Chain A
Amino acid sequence: MTSIAKLHEVASQVRRDIVRMVNMAGSGHPGGSLSSTDFLTALFFKEMNHNPKTWTREGKGSDMFFLSAGHLSPVYYSLLARTGYFPVKELAEFRKIGSRLQGHPSVERGLPGVHVASGSLGQGLSVACGAAIAKRLDNNKNNIYVLIGDGESEEGQIWEAALFAAQKKLDNLIAMTDWNGQQIDGPVCSILNLGNLESKWLSFGWDCLIVDGHNMESVLDAFKWAKKLAGNGKPKMLLMKTNMGQGVDFMQGTHLWHGKAPSNEQTEKALSQLQETLGDF
């Protein structure tokens, strides 16, 4: 069993990976990667039923994870590497020519753990719905997990998929929103306000829970809640309340670090706030 203390240790290392990857690449998206680190660490290291060693793109007999908000590739790649999908040292190849770690996730070069390309926003929830239907057709009881962004939820396709998942009673679908309240141009509420996200998902026919996305106990409870409700005929949405840039003081709570690489000096400052627990790549 992975304890909460252990999950915090992993999350700290994942945050170091994110900062270092983006710094080394000179570009990338640290803000949302840092905001979604805690609950994704809980998912990958504790809640999801997956085996990196026997992973296939088809995902037979396994839970599947889809990253719809593809710009969160730094946190995704770090978690894939840290759970054993590919060598941790490969994180140094992020965004480099010829790399399997493309700026946004891709399957073209066969990176283990990635089922589909993402980056152009709004599409991953639909893909996850398709995978959820396939599981049902195959009488497979595994769950499908998918992460979308709150800014991403401005895309119309998200709401097409929301209607669809409820219509098809996809109760093996557990979606998460990284609700950090920020997007490239500024706070979500001042760009295209999503209003009451909880009531929106509820009115679309989903089970929905607001979760403190940085509190490991709350996150674990939320996943248990969602899994327990599998079979009730409704898709699940976990609205993870998070802070943009969580864990690095000067990146926190602002859209300015959505898609910007820290300088070497800023990287040193950030790393001084994040304990190295599993060894840097």
Chain B
Amino acid sequence: MKEIFTNIGNKDTRSGFGAGLLEAGRNNPDVVALCADLTGSLKMDEFAAEFPERFIQCGIAEANMIGVSAGLALSGKVPFAGSFANFLTGRVYDQVRQVVAYSDTNVKICASHAGVTLGEDGATHQIMEDIGLMRMLPNLTVINPCDYNQTKAATIAIAEFHGPVYLRFGRPSVPNFTPADQKFEIGKALKMIEGKDVTIFATGHLVWESIVAAQELEKSGISVELINIHTIKPLDRKAVLESVTKTRAVVCAEEHMIAGGMGELIAGLLSRELPTPVEFIAVDDMFGQSGTPAELLKEYKLDSGSIIEAIKKVFLRK
């Protein structure tokens, strides 16, 4: 393993979204933003201040916000609708299904505070089912970037992409380690670390946890390949199969339920194309609770230590 990733300073991915939205707004006058009374939490304030006529405060009425977004999109605007992941998926699933996905409207569903690292607010707000809910919908692209820089780049990229997108990011301050000048390619998995014994497919905040795990395991002689699945749908099948053909052992890591998550998606692909042992770093059919993000990652076995154990386990299953 040669790649060294340096944390250039902790930042929250939602701020990456806010910065990307502002830039997308400057790039394209058709970009509009909507929020349901969470402008500060979503870091949409700078966009709202610079483009007040293109910022639409919807109040605590998310179902209506999704419909309004669809109406704007079919009229040629590029709406970014922001709220917490919980309220943009489960709460409005039927709206997203009918007027966004099925109607193929160019709506960008921008979901913050996803996963258990939302922290102290507890299980009512810690949605870990959203990837599954969203990836089941035809037409919808599902993206879960890993840090501030990648979230910013992804936000700019989806503004230029025509089609409905679910963009998932989070609340906590986490390592920022990908390049500031990166070009985000929707649907193209990123090989972060080259290795030969085990492949980790990781998404979102768990990409950094996987880097920590891979670096630790290097010392004990297990060569880990790490692939960042920032786009869960459409899945980069070629990148998955190429890596697994080489390693023949897989760990999938995500801040989500096992059910419906990226891991199941990859395991499903492998079961059809290349049967391979897979271990899942994900939450096994339970709700979260209050706590700090670090405590919760550990409690639900999503931290680097748990990833190390999973890698060792799958290595022995080869």
- A98-127 vs B, CB cutoff 8 Å, 1 = contact: the mask equals 000000001110000001111110111111
- B62-89 vs A, CB cutoff 8 Å, 1 = contact: the mask equals 0111111111111111010000000000
- Give the size of the chain B interface in residues (CB under 8 angstroms): 32
If A116-B99, A117-B103 touch, whether A157 touches B64 (CB-CB below 8 Å) is yes
Query: Contact residue range for chain A?
Result: 35 or more
Whether B71 lies near A130 (C-beta < 8 A) is yes
Say whether A164 faces chain B, with CB atoms less than 8 Å apart.
Answer: yes
Say whether A133 faces chain B, with CB atoms less than 8 Å apart.
Answer: yes
Q: What are the residues of chain B within 8 A of A125 when measuring CB–CB?
A: 67
If A107-B104, A117-B102 touch, whether A58 touches B74 (CB-CB below 8 Å) is yes
Whether A131 lies near B71 (C-beta < 8 A) is yes
Whether B104 lies near A129 (C-beta < 8 A) is no
Q: How far is the CA of A118 from the CA of B103 in the complex (A)?
A: 9
Residue in B53, B79, B98, B105 with the greatest tally of chain A CB atoms within 10 Å: B98
Q: How far is the CA of A108 from the CA of B138 in the complex (A)?
A: 11
Question: Shortest CB–CB separation between residue A78 and chain B, in angstroms?
Answer: 22
Say whether A134 faces chain B, with CB atoms less than 8 Å apart.
Answer: yes
Whether B71 lies near A120 (C-beta < 8 A) is no
- B144-174 vs A, CB cutoff 8 Å, 1 = contact: the mask equals 0000000000000000000000000000000
The prevalent SS among residues of B at the interface is helix
If A116-B99, A137-B32, A163-B59 touch, whether A126 touches B75 (CB-CB below 8 Å) is no
Whether A134 lies near B61 (C-beta < 8 A) is no
Q: A126-B68, A137-B77 are in contact. List 9 more A-B contacts (CB 8 A).
A: A123-B99, A127-B74, A130-B68, A130-B69, A132-B71, A134-B72, A138-B75, A157-B61, A164-B68
What are 29 A-B contacts with C-beta separation under 8 Å? A58-B74, A58-B75, A59-B75, A66-B71, A106-B102, A107-B103, A107-B104, A115-B74, A116-B71, A116-B103, A117-B102, A126-B64, A126-B68, A126-B95, A127-B70, A127-B74, A128-B71, A129-B64, A130-B68, A130-B70, A130-B71, A131-B74, A133-B56, A135-B75, A137-B32, A157-B95, A163-B59, A164-B61, A168-B56
